[in-house]
Amino acid sequence: MSAYGKPKVHVLLEGRYRKLVRDLPQTIFYCPVCKGRGKGCQSCEGFGKLTKDSVQELIQRKVLPRYRSRRGKFHGAGREDLDVRMLGGGRPFVFEVVNPKNLIVDLDEIRDAINDYGRARIEVTDFVTVPRKRVAQIKETHSPKVYRSLVVVDKEPTDEALEQVIGRSVEVMQRTPQRVAHRRADKDRLREVTVRSIERADGPAGETCLLIEVVCQHGTYVKEWISGEEGRSRPSLASLLEVDTRCLALDVLDVPGPFPELEGVSAPSFNDALSWPPANGDEDRWDLPTPNSVSVRAADGDAVAAPMATEAGDPAEEQE
């Protein structure tokens, strides 16, 4: 109920998004020092958040005015790290419009407006309206993820080592990574990783690299599995290949589900999976940051992406 005794109206729109660039969080990246208040905060220079934009903001800036609403909630099927692209078939989400004053909207026009506004940064599918229960279905479905990564190695692994790993499914015991241990229970979790392919690749600045594609069980910390994180992931890609490894760049290629079917309509999807590497002209196919490119407004402290106006307990993705 609202303050005036009238029930609030909620419109829920389901779609999928692709995130075509790095350094763009899924939800608002609040300053961890001032908690988004901004005023007088030196860490974020009074801005209240650490990045100018997020997937959520690029969407809601076009959705909310058309519904004449002042507030929206973003519910994603997990999330990817700020520096990880979401490609392939995109990630499912539900955008919730709170207490709209206008209910006569053109969903195709909203889709086109978002895609024009977020051009070369994000793109979304058609939208369909869904019932409240769909939020729980989207957020609670434990989907495997397909990743592609550019991995720096300290030396060339042997052909024999590669042959033993490619096509293999590995049970991995992962202790909570150090980067999230302050806000997650410090415990071991058993996950499964399947290595689809490994190719030798030329890295930037002449680094020796591998291009790997893996399928990971929900809840797998992929970056830490690649490096091993000093034994916190056992076995790791590093231990299997007997080389030192570091994840230089990571892309999500697929979040397949299975998600429950919608009643009466088809779940939104892109017409075609985005080919890899993405078509970006002569630019680096990995969209690697240059030393002088900094999109995060402040790098001090422990910066954690905090969703705006999302429900408590929003499940975090393997790579946050």
Instruction: Compute CA distances 63 → 8, 139, 234, whole Å.
Output: 18, 21, 45
Cα 264 to Cα 254: distance, rounded to the nearest angstrom: 25
Residue recorded with tokens 């908690």: 35
Cα 240 to Cα 315: distance, rounded to the nearest angstrom: 30
The helix (run of H) or strand (run of E) holding residue 87 is strand 85-98
Half-sphere exposure of 15 (CA within 13 A, CB side): 24
Residue closest to 56 by CA, chosen among 82, 34, 38, 35: 82
At residue 22, φ and ψ (nearest 5 deg) are -95, 175
Residue recorded with tokens 């992929």: 222
CA 195 to the chain's CA centroid:
21
Q: Looking at the annotation, which residues are catalytic?
A: 81
CA 315 to the chain's CA centroid:
12
Strand partners, 212: 149, 198
CA torsion through residues 64, 70, 75, 76, sign: positive
Q: In the chain, what is the greatest distance between 2 CA atoms, to the nearest angstrom?
A: 71
Cα 36 to Cα 50: distance, rounded to the nearest angstrom: 9
The helix (run of H) or strand (run of E) holding residue 136 is helix 133-140
CB 114 within 8 A of CB 96: no
Token output for 175: 């202790």
Cα 160 to Cα 240: distance, rounded to the nearest angstrom: 11
